[in-house]
Structure 1
Amino acid sequence: MNNLILSLSVEARMIIAEIIALIGLTIIIAIYSNNKIKNLNDKTFYLYDVKNTHTAKIKLSLLPILVFIISLILISVQIAFSWDNLLAKNETINTSQTIASTSQQEVQNPTQKNNSETDTTKLNTKNETTNNITTTPSQTQNKTTENKILENKTTESKPANTEKENKATTSQTSTSNGKSIAYLTFDDGPSSITHSVLDILKKYNVKATFFVINSGNYNKATLQREVNEGHTIGLHAYDHNYAIAYKDDNSYLDGIDKLRAKVKADTGFDSHYIRFPGGSSNTISKRYSKGIMSRITKTAKQRGYKYYDWNVDDDDAGRARTADDCYNNVIKELRPNRSNIVLMHDFGTNKKILEALPRIIEYCQKNGYTMLPIDDNTPEIHHGISN
């Protein structure tokens, strides 16, 4: 039984705990209310009294039923929120697995030809393993404003695997010019562990990127430290709840505009780097607005934002249970001679990243990876959109 419980995700355990707690509370209140009723001569409860005229009378015997109904509503709301988060993390898990599988195929077949509708480039360099990409017509149009920044950099393309969903496909607007680069990124902060993450980065003199949210743990001092120590602040979500973030085309980006203004007011850093909750390949968003990711990815660029998915995932918000899991996931997916955007999280309960991060950094240093924060020269890694 213990192994079964431990095998469940945090969200699944939260759902079970909420159901047990609320049902238990309902039973306790029901028993208490019935005992009170037995000791009363007048078993009628008056909500209010106007001019000595009793109105809005409710029998105390109905109170347990009312409590049960209220508790049932609370259970439903809690499960809905937890279920959304559980599905969101499953989306991230599936994305990471398919991307990892695709990357592995690239290592085994570095000269594979592109048979899709996009133009192709065959890679012939023996010592380089680069991540291929699919360039869509909409992305080609969006590159116009980036040509000055990305001048003299090559564009690669990768065949879409018909046996996999579009989210298995990653795209980027440029290569790393043969350099092995790792962009360490952290989502869902700031939190109680963010300062510990910053301490580790400072010890190794490494700069990273923090995609922040407007949560109850939002802290001006923490963000100011991130800026002062040379890190990049990215924008993740004003409200990370999928039902709110993706309820319509304006909800997410209007929230990002508010978060951008807040971060700028608090730190002076004007961020235009975003990461969509679940990545641009998430499909849970279509539960609230079908086709929304296709639309808001375009609108984001029109508003001057650059959005970044990832091509390396430590899976700390998914199936990785230990620091070893996180470390092994990263080194398995890192590729030399390309830009690697590494997805990690600094939410408060993710203590395992504090143990894994030093090992990840040391591995990168020993194997020739330069670790940089995201800036305007960073290739935009995009997943294929499937909604």
Structure 2
Amino acid sequence: MLKRLWLIFAQTVTVCAGVGLAVVLWEHFHGSPDAASLPVMRESGTVLSYSEAVKKAAPAVVNIYTTQAVEEDEDTAGTNPAGIPRSSGATPLGSGVVVSRNGFILTNNHVIEDLTDISVALHDGREFQARRMGIDPETDLALLKVDAQDLSPIEFGSSDTLEVGDVVLAIGNPFNVGQTVTMGIVSALGRHSLGLNSFEDFIQTDAAINRGNSGGALINSSGQLIGINTAIFSPDMNAGTSVGIGFAIPTRLVNEVLPALMKSGRVRRGYLGLVPQALTPEIADKLKLGGRQGVLVAVVKKDAAAWASGIREGDLITSVDGQPVTDVAAMMRQVSAIKPGRTVEVMFYRGGKKWRTQVTLQERPPLKGK
């Protein structure tokens, strides 16, 4: 009995060894499959694709054009592409995103700035004259309206949940070639101090954004809007070609501006009436601030709320309305989000002593010429 068991065991080991040797020899001569080279599969068993996300979002992205005389760039003049009407005199402007079933379309202010004749070509080929319903030059957002019903509005996603490395898709009408989708990742979050807008909190992406993409959609892999494509960095800014550094306005900021544009055509923001300055380590040492955090007051306008409340140049503001002040951009966003006419407490340091005052915010004046 023991001899028979030993024979069975020995045969089993021999077979396993033979199988193992065969696998080793196969991998040696044919190469072991690299996991990175294998197709990424969905649960459905098909190769990974973002087509469902595009099908979901693309019907909400429109082309914006005008028949009004505008100065054209030599690189785009004379094109006769798909995507906008081929009627004589039609000039492409950019892209837009349908945000309601009854015809509201969001775009960039710089796309339609100073124009009175604005037209929209929908994804399904329909064309409409558009009315300007509101603009916000300080975020470079604008709202149009077309007389149409049962449109396909885009689904909003949350830009607050984005992380660097997330896959994103840009949809628009670059160089007027027709609706185009490009893919990339989130390269950075919270980009500001670029000198583009008064209020900046950009998503940076390497998804190709070119001239004509402005006002179009930046979507996540679920087909939800997470940004409005707005600007690029390019060594040759006149050409407007992508080098992998594009910027989009996040939906967090869009959600702050869009309701106001729909309601009244403009955004009312709180205003202290001062010019803030970043606190650098060198300035902090010079003023002997002892490691305190805050924003310096560079200029105070004498007809503004801050002056009337006793705030002066050289003060270090540390909190507004109970919220700590960390940097210039954050303080501007914080103050602008407060309704004009409301009284808030401002904490600041002067001469090494801590002070507090009550400030009744004014309405932030519009940009000159707007």
Q: Same fold (TM over 0.5)?
A: no
By relative contact order (CA 8 Å, sep 6+), the higher-ranking structure is: 1
Scaled by the length of structure 2, the TM-score of the pair is 0.25
Which structure dedicates a bigger proportion of its chain to helix?
1
